[in-house]
């Protein structure tokens, strides 16, 4: 059976992806900081789908341990999914560097740290799939979340460059932009239904994108149109908007 490594495995989106891949008969390595929670997810998936599920401790911001983390993985995965992230608070981050750093470190630096190592190994093996959960927030900076958005913009650009680099090695890189998703991270937000999806739909979109070797997907296609409009607005107009 192929193996998938899911980094940030306790998020709602990650759990949906884990179930989707388990249903496709992938063995799983579920990695995150909350080991008790991972072990509960592990037992549920093993019972439901009859696949092997291994829990592993992983912290996106302890960069010096990322090399050992991969070396201690018994089976190198065919698929690696980066699901970890930290939305943070924009207003707090504007005044508090620790908050700003946490947003940048988790969403960008941590992702680059681990994926640099993953990419090197997949390049040697000349096979593999890397999936990065980015965000529409990175398509253009808005005052309501530009620190988070800037980290996701960097991640999207990183994935694009990685895709370009690894193409000749037979390694595929998929960038996923879910838009608004009903998760624990967004439970206190008033999300517009037309632009909002579920973790399960994100997972199914990823599964379909893997089969079709898609490069970048907006989970709800309406986001593609919305972001084209937003990106095309002249800066003289855009800077006056309350977004």
Could you list the active site residues?
148
Cα distances (angstroms) measured from residue 166 to each of 7, 84, 115, 173, 230: 20, 22, 12, 8, 30
210-241 as b/e: b if 16+ CB within 10 A:
beeeeebbbbbeebeebbeebeeeeeeeeeee
Q: Looking at residue 184, what DSSP letter applies?
A: G
C-alpha–C-alpha distance, residues 65 and 114, integer Å: 9
Residue 23 burial class via C-beta count within 10 angstroms: exposed 0-12, middle 13-18, buried 19 and up: middle
Q: What is the number of other CB atoms lying within 10 angstroms of the CB of residue 34?
A: 13
**Beta strands at 79-82 and 128-133: parallel, antiparallel or unpaired:** parallel
Instruction: Calculate the dihedral angle through the C-alpha atoms of 196, 198, 199, 201, rounding to the nearest 10 degrees.
Output: -100
In whole angstroms, give the CA distance from residue 69 to residue 109.
Answer: 16
Strand boundaries in 39-136, DSSP class E: 53-57, 79-82, 128-133
């Amino acid at each position: 059976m192929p193996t998938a490594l899911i980094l940030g495995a306790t998020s709602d989106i990650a759990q949906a992806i884990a179930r989707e891949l388990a249903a496709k008969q992938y063995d799983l390595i579920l990695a995150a900081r909350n080991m008790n929670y991972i072990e509960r997810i592990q037992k549920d998936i093993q019972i439901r789908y009859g696949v092997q599920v291994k829990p592993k401790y992983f912290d996106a911001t302890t960069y010096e341990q990322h090399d050992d983390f991969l070396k201690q993985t018994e089976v190198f995965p065919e698929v690696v999914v980066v699901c970890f992230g930290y939305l943070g608070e924009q207003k707090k981050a504007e005044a508090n560097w620790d908050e700003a750093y946490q947003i940048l470190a988790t969403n960008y630096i941590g992702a680059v740290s681990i994926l640099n190592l993953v990419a090197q190994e997949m390049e040697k093996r000349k096979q593999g799939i890397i999936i990065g959960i980015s965000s529409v927030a990175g398509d253009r900076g808005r005052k309501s979340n530009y620190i988070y958005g800037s980290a996701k913009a960097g991640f999207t650009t990183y994935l694009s460059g990685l895709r370009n680099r690894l193409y000749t090695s037979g390694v595929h890189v998929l960038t996923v932009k879910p838009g608004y998703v009903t998760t624990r991270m967004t439970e206190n937000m008033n999300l517009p239904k037309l632009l909002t999806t579920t973790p399960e739909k994100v997972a199914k979109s990823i599964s379909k994108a893997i089969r079709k070797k898609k490069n970048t997907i907006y989970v709800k296609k309406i986001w593609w149109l919305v972001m084209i409009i937003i990106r095309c607005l002249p800066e003289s107009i855009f800077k006056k908007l309350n977004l």
